[in-house]
Amino acid sequence: MVRAAVLPAVNAPLRIAEIELPEPGPGQVRVRLAAAGVCHSDLSLSNGTLRQPAPAVLGHEGAGTVTAVGPQVTAVAPGDRVVLNWAPSCGDCHFCGLAEPWLCARSGAAANVPYATLAADGSALYPGVGTAAFAEETVVPAHAVLPLPDGVPLTDAALLGCAVLTGWGAVHHSARVRAGESVAVYGAGGVGLATLQAARIAGAGPIVAVDVSPEKEELARAAGATEFVLSGEGTAKRIRELTGGYGVDVAVECVGRADTIRTAWSSTRRGGRTTVVGIGGQEQQVTFHALELFYFGRTLSGCVYGNSDPARDLPVIAGHVRSGAFDLGALVTDRIGLEGIPAAFEAMLAGRGGRALIVF
């Protein structure tokens, strides 16, 4: 038996419970978690903004050590350090054939199949986003783990599984930021801080961080922001003032709200790029009029998992971690236990802090 934070139903409080994990079957591995990040997407799953069968064990940003493998597993072995991949690509669907594994049609299949049971009554549990990282151990498909390159601390490596790959990819794959380009990043939470670091590594400048909380300024500047703008009326105007009246070359929205998406768009120069990373609900409607679409000539694009191929990008990011260019620890503002997840959710709702990291 292992301890886990269980979501009994959508919008129900999480509760700590003991669960029973099966032995890994064909093509599966069992992982003992070292750490798991608390992502805003977990909050969205718990409140029904994103769909997830329940009861479930949430958590999709994690790293740990393989303890057992099932038949037909050859890529990893017991003792290997791994990062969980919540969006593993199948390799043969339409999107994988287009070399767009982040859009894989089958990546979410595991989330819809029970993977464990409650120790108390034997009721079935679903794995949140297919990974169920809010537990001491989990069982996942073998293609949902990535070998962790040497030289990266196992605990902080959990952040590679979502925040870092998303922020890195938003800069290097979706927006394709070039050295010398100006960048605005909306939201200085875990993903936003990773995006700021990625923009700094890309050689961008100036780099403007935007957030509702003035307490985020120190975190944002430590991550690479050269300017900090408090979100509110006049945000887009202030960013244009910081860029010679034009607006930034690239704006990255990491919040998922209609008003911040609209502001990010308005703060981008003519011909610039606006990338939306944040995940909002269907009620978040963004409007544009036809004339501005023509006149400004901007590009607006969505960004799924940073448009990343984790197998390709993880070794690159790990190299920057080893060199000291990318500081994983700088994203973490709270190190907690399973019992601290509800408070971490509340902090996200209030716009406080960066990433909360569950350390087992």
Chain-centroid distance of CA 337 in Å reads 20
Strand partners, 195: none
Whether the bond between 88 and the residue before it is cis, its omega within 30 degrees of 0, is: no
Question: Would you say 254 and 225 are in contact if contact means Cβ atoms under 8 Å apart?
Answer: no
Q: Which helix (H) or strand (E) holds 271?
A: strand 268-276
In sign, the C-alpha dihedral spanning 21, 25, 28, 30 is: positive
**Residuewise pLDDT in 10s, the chain (360 residues):** 999 999 999 989 999 999 999 999 999 999 999 999 999 899 999 988 888 899 999 999 999 999 999 999 999 999 999 999 999 999 999 999 999 999 999 998 999 999 999 998 999 999 999 999 999 999 999 999 999 999 999 999 999 999 999 999 999 999 999 999 999 999 999 999 999 999 999 999 999 999 999 999 999 999 999 999 999 889 999 999 999 999 999 999 999 999 999 999 999 999 999 999 999 888 999 999 999 999 999 999 999 999 999 999 999 999 999 999 999 999 999 999 999 999 999 988 888 888 999 999
pLDDT at 257: 93
Show the tokens assigned to 318. 């790990």
Round to whole Å and give the CA distance between 332 and 322.
Answer: 18
Whether the bond between 55 and the residue before it is cis, its omega within 30 degrees of 0, is: yes
Strand partners, 145: 84
Show the tokens assigned to 172. 């290097």
Question: Would you say 213 and 192 are in contact if contact means Cβ atoms under 8 Å apart?
Answer: no
β strands within the chain, DSSP E: 2-7, 15-20, 28-38, 56-57, 61-69, 81-84, 116-118, 124-127, 137-141, 145-147, 183-186, 207-211, 227-230, 248-253, 268-276, 299-302, 332-336, 355-359
Show the tokens assigned to 265. 């768009």
What phi and psi, each to the nearest 5 degrees, are found at residue 97?
-65, -25
Round to whole Å and give the CA distance between 215 and 329.
Answer: 18
**Pick from 41, 86, 62: nearest CA to 135:** 62
**Pick from 62, 73, 181: nearest CA to 129:** 62
β strands within 187-255, DSSP E: 207-211, 227-230, 248-253
Other CB atoms within 10 A of residue 329 CB: 13
Q: 3-class SS at 319?
A: helix
Domains with residue ranges and CATH for the chain: 2-161+327-359 (3.90.180.10), 164-304 (3.40.50.720)
Strand partners, 102: none
**Pick from 240, 227, 244, 174: nearest CA to 202:** 174
pLDDT at 233: 86
